[in-house]
Amino acid sequence: MKQRNQPTQALTHREAKDLKILALFTSVYCRAHHDGPWTAPVAADPELRRLPLRKYPVCADCAGFLGYAFERRLRCPLEEKPSCKHCPVHCYKPGHREKVREIMRFSGQYLIRRGRLDLLWHYLF
Domain boundaries, the chain: 13-124
Spatial separation of the C-alpha atoms in residues 47 and 15, rounded to whole Å: 11
**Greater pLDDT, 101 or 88:** 101
pTM of the model: 0.79
Kindly state the helix (H) or strand (E) to which residue 28 belongs, with its residue range: helix 13-33
Q: Does the pLDDT value for residue 112 go beyond 80?
A: yes
Split at pLDDT 50, 70, 90, the class of 59 is: very high
Report the alpha-carbon distance of residue 90 to residue 26 in Å, rounded. 19
DSSP class of residue 46 equals T
Please determine, for residue 121, whether its predicted confidence score (pLDDT) is greater than 80. no
Give the sign of the dihedral formed by CA 52, CA 53, CA 56, CA 57. negative
Is the confidence at residue 7, as pLDDT, over 50?
Answer: no
Assess whether pLDDT exceeds 90 at residue 117.
no
Contact of 86 with 78, CB cutoff 8 Å = no
